[in-house]
Amino acid sequence: MKKVIYESLLAKKNKGQRSFAVLIDPDNVNASKLDELTALAVGAGVDYLLVGGSLVISNHLDEVVQHIRRNCSIPVILFPGTPSGVSRYADGLLYLSLISGRNPELLIGQHVISAPAVRKSGLEIISTGYMVIDGGAPTTVSYISNASPIPADKNEIALCTAMAGEMLGMKLIYMDAGSGARHPIREEMIACVASHIEIPLVVGGGIRDPEKAYLNCKAGANVIVVGNAIEKDASLIKEMADAVHSVAVI
Ligand code: 1GP
């Protein structure tokens, strides 16, 4: 099993370095948009490109991933909403189990169905405890998952969920307020979870400005994911990356 991406994440965590990931939704890009995003990402020193979404309607995931790979060497990690969100051209795949919900299909059911294809893909598989946190309004992920998000002020539920995920052997915890969330996750919750787990913590959903990205990192996030805000204003990539990389706390 490949471990290149995960080992790089662990090495950065051990050195106190934060990472910045840009989320690309295949439904919202064409070739020229991808050229623009990858050029900005390379210039800004973006650490990872996540590709996927809760609801991928278009049928050009392979094309999108191949286009990115031709343009740059930033690792491409799939962030699939469904088993069809897999492309063998990527570098890795967040193998998400929705541990904040109680929908058996998203905890294990779809994994069983997609396991042979995922194994055959040859991708680096990163087992991820995926936690959806209430972002103040329903998001695509909260609707599609048919599972209640963790209330935004229930730090102890988030903490116990993340601890359980870690003890079950998951390699990452991804706390997500959902794409375009009205309210991003509070720093108090991030700090509470980060101080009780040893595996890397990914945070995303509704982060719109570099200040928020910075504060999330200070609170303990190891990787910040931004999608929507960058779709609206790609020039934010550099400011966001600089803010995230400016935090170096062990
Ligand atoms: C969503 O965490 C990601 O799953 C990113 O969210 O699109 O709101 O940045 P945004």
Pocket test for ligand 1, best of 207, 224, 232, 233 (most atoms within 8 A of CB): 207
Over the chain, what is the mean pLDDT?
95
Region 128-133: mean pLDDT is 98
Pocket test for ligand 1, best of 228, 231, 237 (most atoms within 8 A of CB): 228
Q: Is 207 close to ligand 1, i.e. is its CB under 6 Å away?
A: yes
Confidence at 219, pLDDT banded by 50, 70, 90 = very high
Confidence at 249, pLDDT banded by 50, 70, 90 = low
Cα(225) to centroid(ligand 1), Å: 6
Domain-by-domain residue ranges, the chain?
4-240
Give nearest CA residue, ligand 1 atom 5: 205
Sign of CA dihedral 221, 223, 226, 230: positive
Tens digits of residue pLDDT in 43-77: 999 999 999 977 767 789 999 999 999 999 999 99
> pLDDT at position 49, please?
98
Atom of ligand 1 nearest to the CA of 229: 9
Confidence at 165, pLDDT banded by 50, 70, 90 = very high
Q: Is 226 close to ligand 1, i.e. is its CB under 6 Å away?
A: yes
Atom of ligand 1 nearest to the CA of 25: 7
- Rounded Cα distance between 210 and 100, Å, is 27
- Rounded Cα distance between 92 and 70, Å, is 16
Region 147-164: mean pLDDT is 97
Tens digits of residue pLDDT in 68-92: 999 999 999 999 988 778 999 999 9
Q: Is 185 close to ligand 1, i.e. is its CB under 6 Å away?
A: no
CB burial of 201-220 (b: ≥16 within 10 Å; e: otherwise) equals: bbbbbbbbebebbbbbbebb
Q: Is 23 close to ligand 1, i.e. is its CB under 6 Å away?
A: yes
Region 127-136: mean pLDDT is 97
> pLDDT at position 53, please?
79
Q: Is 206 close to ligand 1, i.e. is its CB under 6 Å away?
A: yes
Fold that domain 4-240 belongs to in CATH: TIM Barrel (3.20.20)
- Rounded Cα distance between 122 and 196, Å, is 32
Cα(36) to centroid(ligand 1), Å: 19
pTM of the entire structure?
A: 0.97
Beta carbons of 43 and 247 less than 8 angstroms apart: no
- Rounded Cα distance between 204 and 206, Å, is 7
